[in-house]
Amino acid sequence: MVTDIIVGVTALTSIAAFNSPKLLNDWIFEPYTILRSKQYFRFLTSGLLHGSWMHLLINMYVLYSFGNLVEQFYSRHFGGNAIWFYMLLYAGGLIVSDIPTFLKHQNDVSYRGLGASGAVSSVLFASILFAPTMQLGLFLVIPMPAIVLGVGYLLYSAYMSKNPKDNINHDAHFYGAVFGFFFTLLLKPSLMSDFMNEILDAWL
């Protein structure tokens, strides 16, 4: 339910920003402006913006696909706190994933970023903690266990962060993923034994 609301709100604000340069400029992630004008809200509002229809559709598709699943897992493990913890997972993913970028570009007047990829990565990797052997489709076609795809995702993000060849913020992908996994684990450390046991049972 929370996932559906986030997807709906993000779609509406992103589409609005496609046609409103002012909204885009007021909400986009600009480390230089954030530091000097104390506009820390941009850590969150930039996650409500996307650079294109494709960017928006991919992020919202992944979020919708895994967000509702994580909500179910959270409800099972955290009861009445599930909704609040899930909201912290998502908002925390937005903020934490952009901190390295903020530190790297705080004196770069030209740097701008947007998108919910860090938060979406957090949700995706929370789902991997709960179900590491579920089958996911690489490029929506090639099936492989979630943990294998997750490790590959982290390695690729780390490599591309150090060898940038596009305008994608791979740091946000990497740190959002790490945050989602360990934030959920901190909420319930016993999940690590469940995680390891599921992997061992599947492969040994």
- In the chain, the domains with their CATH numbers are 2-203 (1.20.1540.10)
Contact yes or no for 116/91 (Cβ under 8 A): no
User: How many C-beta atoms surround the C-beta of residue 186 within 10 A?
Assistant: 9
- The neighbour count for residue 25, using CB atoms within 10 Å, is 12
| pLDDT for position 172 | 95
pLDDT at residue number 139: 53
Q: Is 115 left (phi over 0), alpha (psi -120 to 50) or beta?
A: left
Strand partners, 202: none
Block means of pLDDT (10 residues each) for the chain, length 204 residues? 96 97 97 96 97 95 95 96 98 97 95 96 97 77 85 93 84 96 97 94 77
For position 165, what pLDDT does the model report?
Answer: 78
**What is the spatial distance between Cα 118 and Cα 187, in angstroms, rounded to a whole number?**
19
Q: How far apart are CA 23 and CA 146, in angstroms?
A: 37
Q: Does the pTM exceed 0.85?
A: yes
Model pLDDT, residue 157: 94
For tokens 């919910």, the residue is: 116
Residue pLDDT, tens place only, 26-37: 999 999 999 999
The dihedral built from the CA positions of residue 86, 87, 92 and 94, taken in this order, carries a sign that is positive
Report which of 52, 31, 160, 36 is spatially closest to residue 99, judged by C-alpha positions.
31
End-to-end CA separation in angstroms for the chain? 37
- What pLDDT is recorded for position 143? 81
